[in-house]
Amino acid sequence: MPEKLSTNIKYLKGVGPARAAYLAKLNIFSIEDLLTHYPRRYEDRSYFKPIKLLEDNEVQTFRATVVAVEERKPRRGLTLTKVTVRDDSAVAQLVWFNQSYRKTRYRPGMELIVYGKAERRFNTIQLVNPEVEIVDEVEELLNVGRIVPVYPATENINQRVLRQLVRQALTDCHPIPEILPGNIICRYNLIGRDQALESIHFPPDKDALTQARRRLVFEELFFLQYGLLYLKNRNKHEFQGIKHAQDGKLSKEVLARLPFTLTTDQQVALQEIKADMEDTRPMQRLLQGDVGSGKTVIAALALVKTVENGYQGAMMAPTEILAEQHFHTLSRLLANLGIRLALLTGRLTKRERDQVLANLRNGLVDIVIGTHALLQDDVHFKHLGLVVTDEQHRFGVRQRALLQAKGKMPDVLVMTATPIPRTMALTVYGDLDVSVIRTLPPGRKPIKTYSVTGEMRGRVYNFVAREVAAGRQAYVVCPLVEESDKLEARAAVQMYEQLARTYFKGLTCGLVHGKMKSQEKDAVMNAFYSGKIQVLIATTVIEVGVNVPNATVMVIEGADRFGLAQLHQLRGRIGRGEHQSFCILISDSKSEESKERLAIMTTTQDGFVLAEKDLLLRGPGQFFGTRQHGMPDLKIADIVRDLDILLEARQAAQQAVTRPEIFNELQSVLKLRFGEAFNMIFYN
Ligand code: ADP
Ligand code: MG
């Protein structure tokens, strides 16, 4: 990395330790961090209007001369500074409240550039709290009279400060060295890095801004794709994995014993998985399929295949409840076949755990199902052949790699119930091959979904009580409180107490929330599972996994606070049995976006459709961050909007990974971009 860019931000002129501390809140630690602190948006302040033509209630820019400055104190604690300005066309008044330093700042005769919202009052044109720059003072206009960047800012670091600092950094570092290979710059018609960084902050015009953005988005996606494809390629070419044999007796028997026939999508996915396993290169496959689409059985068949070949299989789930559920499912599916299963969660006693660990080490366990507990250092396998991780979005690339590292190049199958739109899959799972189960097993009744306001609450809960009285079970999901588990838990307790006293009087209610100990939680979940609890009041802890076919009603309070993908996951808890299921979304939100989101829920149950919509409505950040996947954050690329650039960047990266000399050229940048994931990806 060029030295200047990596310099600590506190050495930039105008920064110092105090400002450095505030900049740290914006994740700005080096000059490069500052230069890649991209504007959130821009304001076009480049066109000067004559004062006379200023329009009411619109934000506009004009240039004028100061005529008079006065200060008034209409009442205690209120200071009004009024500056009268004029141009050839008319007079305007600039007004500020409690900013008396302005009184001495402006003097008659000064030239100003003013940016703000104009209002016509009686016969005067007035601007309250406008932004102003004195023309003689600035060599280059940063804040007005141009297309102006607007940054994510923070306490004590306002827009003007950021603009000033960025200007300083750009000047100090000029010319900023290129980091993309020359042939890629040429081939994809990109502008240079120096010019791009200059124009992304201070675009001379819109066209320059478009060019700059395209170049920087390309750069960001190129490095990300390079990392992902490097990983994928290395797995394909460099490593000798396990070559499983074609299906033998055991695999065939398990398949024959299934109480149903696989759907076409399941069959295709299974074929793809088996082909990978029978190949020498290690499998790196993502199995996508909606909740209830039948992924578990596919995982089970893959695990059986590895066992049949004399290897061990491991399956990792994100929660203890889910791990236990998988354990039971597999125990049933694989009963009486001589396959030895074990469960490894944080809940085992030390003695039980030691026993499982010994059995794994000695090859006395064939398939282990567990939680994060599987990743601990003292977990060793005799010969791990296949690693399955379920609900991948809860784990990161790092964790996947940790489990994989417990064997010698085992095959890896990643399962996710979060349908991932194509752009997202390329960005986040770019290193994996993908199989998709799109259709649900036959015979499922669609869930009837309604979106209602709080006024209907009474009717909704009476309906729930009637369904429960008829023998069904129900979930009530409490509003999401993203910032605080504690507040969320408290609200859940309140709702539980209130419902148990009123609508659900005489029914057995249970409560689960994130602040309960896992034993308490499990006790409640098990009681619900066995039917002892009729109504379960819960926070999103029930989102993943739980399978209670008799539960047919779900009420989601504060539904607007959830994303579509999350609502879809929640709703996936019902509609699993023979009875008609109902999902009722309660929301008092007035926002059009929320209303639209909830309306979509009532019209489709296709997770892929919902995921695409969610991505469009809420943007990728909300959908799920890349950071948790161990990948660099995207600072400028928007994977919905920038699909075209993504595809180009991926193509460029694809070509680059096949040329070892390029790696040396890119190494230092890759190290910086991938941070702690670097060694894992490039030198694992
Ligand atoms: P997922 O893990 O994708 O959420 P599961 O594997 O838990 O889904 O499957 C949901 C339910 O559907 C299970 O009860 C399973 O036995 C059943 N199932 C799976 N595949 C089929 C099929 N092809 N036909 C009928 N039922 C199936
Ligand atoms: Mg599942």
Confidence band for 624, pLDDT divided at 50, 70 and 90: very low
Nearest to 414 by CA among 545, 325, 503, 316: 316
Residue 456 shares a structural domain with residue 501: yes
Q: 122 lies in a domain?
A: yes
What CATH number is given to the structural domain containing 340? 3.40.50.300
Write the pLDDT tens digit of every residue in 644-678.
Answer: 898 899 999 999 988 888 888 888 888 888 776 67
- Per-residue pLDDT at 423: 66
Domain extent at residue 499:
448-604
Residue 414 shares a structural domain with residue 497: no
- Per-residue pLDDT at 628: 41
| Cα–Cα distance measured from residue 620 to residue 628, given in angstroms and rounded to the nearest whole number | 13
Write the pLDDT tens digit of every residue in 67-87.
Answer: 999 999 989 889 999 999 999
- Per-residue pLDDT at 676: 67
Nearest to 265 by CA among 419, 460, 135: 419
Confidence band for 627, pLDDT divided at 50, 70 and 90: very low
Q: Judging by DSSP bridges, how do beta strands 111-121 and 124-128 pair with one another? A: antiparallel
Number of domains composing the chain: 3
pTM of the model: 0.67
Q: How far is the CA of 18 from the centre of ligand 1 (A)?
A: 58
- Per-residue pLDDT at 1: 43
Binding site membership of 404 for ligand 1 (Cβ less than 6 Å): no
Q: How far is the CA of 266 from the centre of ligand 2 (A)?
A: 14
* Helix, strand or coil, per DSSP, at residue 256: helix
Nearest to 276 by CA among 367, 366, 385: 385
**Contact by Cβ (8 Å): 372, 298:** no
Mean pLDDT of 141-167: 86
Q: How far is the CA of 607 from the centre of ligand 2 (A)?
A: 14
Q: 265 lies in a domain?
A: yes
Q: Whose CA is nearest to atom 17 of ligand 1?
A: 294
Q: How far is the CA of 416 from the centre of ligand 2 (A)?
A: 8
Look up residue 137 and give its DSSP letter. G
Number of CB atoms found within 10 A of residue 349's CB: 8
Q: Is the pLDDT of residue 293 over 70?
A: yes
Write the pLDDT tens digit of every residue in 500-550.
Answer: 999 999 999 999 998 888 788 888 988 998 999 999 999 877 756 567 889
Residue 507 shares a structural domain with residue 481: yes
The more confident residue out of 106 and 485 is 106
Write the pLDDT tens digit of every residue in 302-331.
Answer: 999 999 999 999 999 887 878 888 999 999
H helical segments located in 258-368: 264-278, 295-308, 320-333, 350-362
Binding site membership of 626 for ligand 1 (Cβ less than 6 Å): no
Write the pLDDT tens digit of every residue in 469-485.
Answer: 999 999 999 988 777 77
Torsion of CA 261, 262, 267, 269, to 10 degrees: -160
Q: 243 lies in a domain?
A: no
Residue 370 shares a structural domain with residue 467: no
Q: Annotate 407-448 with DSSP letters as a single string.
A: SSS-EEEEEESS---HHHHHHHSTTSEEEEE-SPPTTPPPPE
Q: Which ligand is nearest to the CA of 264?
A: 1
Q: Is the pLDDT of residue 337 over 90?
A: yes
Residue among 263, 297, 440 whose CB has most ligand 1 atoms within 8 A, to mutate = 297
Percent residues over pLDDT 70 in the chain:
91
- Per-residue pLDDT at 298: 97
Q: Which ligand is nearest to the CA of 269?
A: 1
Percent residues over pLDDT 90 in the chain:
55
Asked whether the bond before 175 is cis by omega within 30 degrees of 0, the reply is: yes
Residue 259 shares a structural domain with residue 349: yes
- Per-residue pLDDT at 518: 76
Burial of 367 (0-12, 13-18, 19+ CB in 10 A): buried
User: Could you tell me the maximum CA-CA distance found in the chain, to the nearest angstrom?
Assistant: 96
**Contact by Cβ (8 Å): 630, 397:** yes
Phi/psi of residue 641, nearest 5 degrees:
-75, -30
Nearest to 220 by CA among 660, 669, 677, 664: 669
- Per-residue pLDDT at 614: 73
Mean pLDDT of 558-585: 89
- Per-residue pLDDT at 133: 84
Q: How far is the CA of 572 from the centre of ligand 1 (A)?
A: 12
Angle made by CA atoms 45, 49, 52, in degrees to the nearest 5: 145
Specify the DSSP element, H or E, that contains 16. Answer: helix 16-25
Extended beta strands in 17-158, E state: 41-44, 59-75, 78-86, 91-97, 111-121, 124-128, 131-134, 147-150
The more confident residue out of 56 and 231 is 56
Which of 604, 623, 651 represents a domain boundary (last residue)? 604
Write the pLDDT tens digit of every residue in 346-363.
Answer: 889 999 999 999 999 999
| Cα–Cα distance measured from residue 416 to residue 401, given in angstroms and rounded to the nearest whole number | 16
Confidence band for 622, pLDDT divided at 50, 70 and 90: very low
Confidence band for 620, pLDDT divided at 50, 70 and 90: low
* Helix, strand or coil, per DSSP, at residue 247: coil
- Per-residue pLDDT at 544: 60
Average pLDDT, the chain: 88
Q: 1 lies in a domain?
A: no
Residue among 255, 257, 260 whose CB has most ligand 1 atoms within 8 A, to mutate = 260
Identify any residues that bridge with 416 across adjacent strands, giving them in sequence order: 288
Binding site membership of 620 for ligand 1 (Cβ less than 6 Å): no
Token output for 168: 């300083």
Residue 391 shares a structural domain with residue 432: yes
Residue 357 shares a structural domain with residue 484: no
Which of 112, 144, 176 represents a domain boundary (last residue)? 144
Q: 652 lies in a domain?
A: no
Which of 127, 144, 161 represents a domain boundary (last residue)? 144
Residue 469 shares a structural domain with residue 502: yes
Q: How far is the CA of 391 from the centre of ligand 2 (A)?
A: 7
Q: How far is the CA of 546 from the centre of ligand 2 (A)?
A: 9
- Per-residue pLDDT at 392: 60
The more confident residue out of 422 and 50 is 50
Q: Which atom of ligand 1 is nearest to the CA of 295?
A: 3
Report the first-to-last Cα separation within the chain, whole angstroms. 23
Q: How far is the CA of 631 from the centre of ligand 2 (A)?
A: 25
Residue 416 shares a structural domain with residue 455: no
The more confident residue out of 632 and 448 is 448
Residue 278 shares a structural domain with residue 402: yes
The more confident residue out of 579 and 123 is 579
Confidence band for 683, pLDDT divided at 50, 70 and 90: low
What is the torsional sign of CA 628, 574, 436, 247?
positive
Number of CB atoms found within 10 A of residue 87's CB: 17
**C-alpha distance from residue 147 to each of 45, 112, 158, 463 (Å):** 5, 17, 17, 57
Write the pLDDT tens digit of every residue in 2-28.
Answer: 478 999 999 999 998 999 999 999 989
Q: 61 lies in a domain?
A: yes
Binding site membership of 289 for ligand 1 (Cβ less than 6 Å): yes
* Helix, strand or coil, per DSSP, at residue 641: coil
Q: 280 lies in a domain?
A: yes
Look up residue 279 and give its DSSP letter. S
Binding site membership of 291 for ligand 1 (Cβ less than 6 Å): yes
| Cα–Cα distance measured from residue 61 to residue 59, given in angstroms and rounded to the nearest whole number | 7
Q: Annotate 524-587 with DSSP letters as a single string.
A: HHHHHHTTS-SEEEE-GGGSSS---TTEEEEEETTGGGS-HHHHHHHHTTSS-SSS--EEEEE-
Residue 548 shares a structural domain with residue 454: yes
Residue 559 shares a structural domain with residue 421: no
- Per-residue pLDDT at 152: 86
Write the pLDDT tens digit of every residue in 361-376.
Answer: 999 999 999 988 898 8
Q: Is the pLDDT of residue 626 over 60?
A: no
Q: 218 lies in a domain?
A: no
